[in-house]
Amino acid sequence: MYIGRFVVVAPDFGAYRVSSRSFPNRQIVAREGTLTVAPTPDAPENDNPYVSYNCVREGGDGVVVGNGSHVDPIAEKLDLGYPARDALAGALLALDYEKDDYDTPRVAGVVGEESFVGIVRRDAILVEAVDEPTLVATYEENEPTAIDFAGSAAADPDDLARDAYELPYEHAVCAAGVTYEDGDIAVGFHNGE
């Protein structure tokens, strides 16, 4: 099944995976404490504004995971002291779904003292607190749903990224993982084989 880009958020860890049929030549790169989805060196030129973006960024006392340009304003709101739920809801509402051919939803999560997952679709905005691993995706699985995903703050973030990459959904490209334990944040990533 193809569910597009997705996040998995739990109380003490999170993951983000790029799955793509249209732009598979992408990778995650670390830049100044932020993880960025970017074209690979051999990717064809394109002017699509949704191909490259920050997918993991620390903010306040937490860390944000997500599928687009909304990651930055969520992190900035956390830096300003907004509660995680408000930062997530405000940025998703302000930026809305992507205005592409598919009306692609924006998905995101905040992992921290309180962890939340959210999505803005053409027909709804949903933001929910999580107390277990919860997945939300751009297609098909576009409501927060509990998922069997083994992980914890004790896990290695690179392993979490690999686990997200290996979930049985089609067209995996790359993935990121984050952990949160007593205010300590660690991030990692896995680019395709």
**Torsion sign over Cα 140, 143, 89, 156:** negative
What integer pLDDT is reported at residue 47 of this predicted model? 81
What integer pLDDT is reported at residue 152 of this predicted model? 63
Mean of pLDDT values over 100-129? 96
What whole-number distance in Å separates Cα of residue 146 and Cα of residue 17?
A: 16
**pLDDT tens, position by position, 13-54:** 999 999 999 888 999 999 887 999 999 988 888 888 788 999
Mean of pLDDT values over 58-73? 97
What integer pLDDT is reported at residue 49 of this predicted model? 78
Q: What is the DSSP letter of 166?
A: T
Angle formed by the axes of helices 71-79 and 84-95, to 10°? 140
Percent of the chain with pLDDT over 70: 97
Over its C-alpha atoms, the chain yields an Rg (Å, rounded) of: 15
Domains identified in the chain and CATH numbers:
6-191 (3.60.20.20)
Q: Which one-letter amino acid corresponds to residue 37?
A: V
Q: What is the DSSP letter of 43?
A: P
Interior/surface letters 171-190, b for 16+ CB within 10 angstroms, e for the rest: ebbbbbbbbbeeeebbbbbb
**pLDDT tens, position by position, 123-157:** 999 999 999 999 999 999 999 999 999 766 568 99
- pTM assigned to the model: 0.95
Contacts 24+ apart (CB under 8 A), 71-77: 71/108, 74/108, 74/110
Query: Please, are residues 13 and 153 in contact by the beta-carbon 8 Å criterion?
Result: yes
Mean pLDDT of the chain: 94
**pLDDT tens, position by position, 158-190:** 999 999 999 999 999 999 999 999 999 999 999
What whole-number distance in Å separates Cα of residue 12 and Cα of residue 130?
A: 10
User: What element of type H or E holds 165?
Assistant: helix 157-165
Q: What is the DSSP letter of 91?
A: H
